[in-house]
Amino acid sequence: MLAHYANFMQTISMDSKSTPPRTQDGETPKKKRGALLVYERMRDEIMWMQIEPGSALDEVALASKYEVSRTPIREALLLLANEGFVQFLQNRTTIVAPLTLHNIPALLDTFLLLARGLLRSVAMNGTARPDDLSDFIETYRHGLAVNDTRGAFEAQLGLYKHLAALSENRFLEKYFLEAQDASVRLKQLYFFPDLTPLEQEKAVNRLRAVVDAVTQADPEASDVAVVQSIMFEAGIVQRRLGPRFGHKMSIVSPTTVTEQPS
């Protein structure tokens, strides 16, 4: 599999050095587009849990679903495996990568460090404008209010993607967005569901504080605001991973009822 991946990436690298052939409408041949389109669609479906963690991926079924041959499917799976979205097992089975709890602390640490560097960079650049960011906050607030989890989440992701571009640091942008994408499934399961009205209000206020700080070009305030926002979400996730009611239940042996003589 690794050899296949290396050969595939070498092919892409060689192709990028020359102008690819195009059809009359200006598009590249379907075979090349096929692998990338399948990759993008599968990545989106895995991130948004339309394909559940741990699900087996059958190449024949996928080829039929996306109306391509098995070669683009294999190439797309190799790209997804490189990002940690799928796993190849020793028995040649391919599965959607399961969510593993032992990786959560490392993910949060990485996301925090990258977010802090990113927001400081944007604030120091002084390129963030309130008018460009206000719609993200309003869509986030509205999505939470009407229980549109995906709409709210996409607004938050869009906000950070916009800020990442403003950092003007392609390394920070690349690795921050990868860490953000790696957190999507986790937050769908353990942050967004069943937020109370008070938690929704706090989530919006934390995100608004990030926008306020970065648009005021204040690196210190941006650092504090993004840490508070991410730690608020981490606190919700941590609570959801704990017991819900087992520790509160009163477990008492049933009272033995003796039969009264008639």
For tokens 């990545």, name the residue: 43
CATH number of the 2-7+25-96 domain = 1.10.10.10
pLDDT for position 99: 86
Q: Which residue has the higher pLDDT, 5 or 223?
A: 223
Q: What is the mean pLDDT of residues 61-84?
A: 94
Instruction: Give tens-digit pLDDT for 99-123.
Output: 888 889 999 999 999 999 999 999 9
For tokens 């699900």, name the residue: 55
Counting residues of the chain whose pLDDT is more than 90, the rounded percentage is: 74
Q: Where are the domains of the chain?
A: 2-7+25-96, 101-241
Strand partners, 96: 86
Establish how many alpha carbons lie within 13 A of residue 233's alpha carbon, considering only the half-sphere containing its beta carbon: 28
92, amino acid identity: R
Q: What's the CATH architecture for 101-241? A: Up-down Bundle (1.20)
